[in-house]
């Protein structure tokens, strides 16, 4: 009797452990998008467009990056700037579309990551600034 109960307990615990490992975390309401640009003029144009079109609450323009990458079989090294864009996760698709339509590169970088925590007042400000 105890061995059957023990086996049932082990199987139940194993099932619960696997279930909790496989359960997806709740999707984040907020995301950060990273976009590289060739110069300050492009950076400001994109930043102003994203904010004025309510696709982003804030865009930080980070200067003086050196990007080393392979393109068309050659290793390249270029000076670039980085845009760090705070937005709602629901706006990532239209934000990406806007960047692609207004970026000078034929294949532009738009990489996003969810925001999983932070100052709640700041996150609330993103919600207020970027409508659903």
73: left (phi over 0), alpha (psi -120 to 50) or beta: left
Q: Domain 30-129's class?
A: alpha beta
pTM value is 0.79
pLDDT beyond 50 at 22: no
Tell me the average pLDDT across 89-103.
98
pLDDT over threshold 60, residue 85: yes
Judged against a pLDDT cut of 50, whether residue 61 lies above it is answered with yes
Burial of 56 per CB tally in 10 Å (0-12, 13-18, 19+): buried
pLDDT(8) > 50: no
**How confident is the model over 55-76, as a mean pLDDT?**
97
End-to-end C-alpha distance for the chain, whole angstroms: 57
Give me the residue spans of the domains in the chain: 30-129
């Amino acid at each position: 009797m105890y061995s059957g109960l023990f086996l049932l307990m082990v199987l139940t615990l194993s099932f619960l452990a696997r279930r909790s490992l496989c359960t997806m975390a709740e999707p984040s309401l907020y995301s950060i998008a990273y976009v590289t640009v060739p110069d300050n003029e492009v950076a400001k144009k994109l930043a102003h467009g994203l904010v004025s079109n309510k696709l982003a609450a804030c865009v930080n323009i980070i200067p003086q990056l050196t990007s080393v990458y392979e393109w068309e079989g050659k290793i390249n090294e270029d000076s670039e700037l980085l845009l760090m864009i705070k937005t709602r996760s629901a706006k990532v698709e239209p934000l990406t579309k806007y960047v692609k339509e207004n970026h000078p590169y034929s294949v532009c970088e738009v990489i996003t990551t969810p925001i999983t925590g932070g100052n709640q007042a700041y996150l609330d400000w993103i919600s207020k600034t970027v409508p659903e």
